[in-house]
Amino acid sequence: SARPDLVPFDGVGRTADGRRVELLANVSGGDDAAAASRAEGVGLFRTEFAFLDRHDAPSAADQTVAYREVFAAFRGRRVVVRTLDAGSDKPLAFLAGPREQNPALGVRGYRTAHAHPDVLDAQLAAIAAAARAERADAWVMAPMIATAAEARQFVARCRPHGFASVGVMIETPAAALCAAEILAEVDFVSLGTNDLAQYATAADRQLAPLADLTDAWQPAVLRLIRLVGEAGAAAGKPVSLCGEAGGDPALAPVLVGLGVTSLSMAPQALDEVAASLGAVAFEQCVAAAAAAAAAPGPREARAAAASVLAK
Ligand code: PEP
Ligand code: MG
């Protein structure tokens, strides 16, 4: 890091009073994973990135190679593999359907499995084979889930492969509002705040003029995260977060106070996020979260959290 006073992340994320918060990395392939191996594990492996240029679905052999590279960089540690999140900002030719007026609201993520169940089943088999070969602690999760029924279907499809843990992303407001029912179906959830903010505020995440609306500090987004955190605590199941917000050191204590139990981020953010959490007690995180979520807007939420955490 550019900050000379910053203590490098020592591999165990925690608050000042010792509450564990796993700090994980977001990766999109083997090269990334090698560079991220200081993290405690991988909280989001975006598998679609390896196949963006493919016209046809990748073979089982090609997939197994790609997944093994990431597992090998984190041997013995957790790797959360997300099944193909095709569509909208990440189109995959082999999963594309008819042209859509609103691709962000279209057949994307897990929804592509209705027309292409074979592609999902082949991917799950390839992930399982790669995990066995590398003795990986492989967790799998589905993107773009809106209902508990979808979560149940995904878990059923995963069952034959014997994964250690099966979860779904919470990145639609519907999923956040039904978090308790979804958590009843799965082992864990992971908040995708990039899409959650987009759908909560009805503002395209790719439009710079709308960046204030898609800010994760928007109280509406913080309150949705809190619903999921509370549901996770009630269910006794992990609530991870793997959107870009996971790498914001000022937001990390707030997220932990809202009930997030692990943060996954771009690896460059690990040192600052670890230092930020290590400087505050869990009770301060809870107070900062309450203050931020009650604020009228993102700027006020930042100020409110900073003032609580400075005490
Ligand atoms: C998200 O939506 O926050 C997320 C982590 O997934 P992606 O950015 O790949 O859509
Ligand atoms: Mg997403």
Mean pLDDT for all residues in the chain = 96
Phi-psi region at 144: left, alpha or beta (left = phi > 0; alpha = psi -120 to 50): left
Residue 310 CA, ligand 1 centroid: distance in Å: 31
ipTM score: 0.99
Residue 61 CA, ligand 1 centroid: distance in Å: 26
Q: Give residue-wise pLDDT tens across range 203-234.
A: 999 999 999 999 999 999 999 999 999 999 99
Closest CA to 252 of 11, 32, 19: 19
DSSP assigned state of 28: S
Share of the chain above pLDDT 70, in %: 99
Cα distance between residue 202 and residue 107, in whole Å: 17
CA angle 234, 240, 241 (to 5 degrees): 125
26 lines ligand 1 (CB under 6 A): no
Specify the pTM. 0.97
Q: What is the pLDDT of residue 1?
A: 47
Q: Give residue-wise pLDDT tens across range 167-194.
A: 999 999 999 999 999 999 999 999 999 9
Look at ligand 1, atom 8, and give the residue with the nearest C-alpha.
194
Q: What is the pLDDT of residue 88?
A: 86
Q: Give residue-wise pLDDT tens across range 28-53.
A: 999 999 999 999 999 999 999 999 99
Look at ligand 1, atom 9, and give the residue with the nearest C-alpha.
46
Place of tokens 């995990």: 131
Residue 192 CA, ligand 2 centroid: distance in Å: 5
Cα distance between residue 257 and residue 264, in whole Å: 16
Cβ within 8 Å of residue 149, ≥6 positions away: none
Instruction: Give the ligand whose atoms come closest to the C-alpha of residue 214.
Output: 1
CA angle 189, 190, 194 (to 5 degrees): 145
Look at ligand 1, atom 3, and give the residue with the nearest C-alpha.
192
146 lines ligand 1 (CB under 6 A): no
Instruction: Give the ligand whose atoms come closest to the C-alpha of residue 82.
Output: 1
Instruction: Give the ligand whose atoms come closest to the C-alpha of residue 45.
Output: 1
193 lines ligand 1 (CB under 6 A): yes
Compute the average pLDDT of residues 71-92. 94
195 lines ligand 1 (CB under 6 A): yes
| Environment of ion ligand 2 (residues, CB < 5 A) | 171, 192, 195
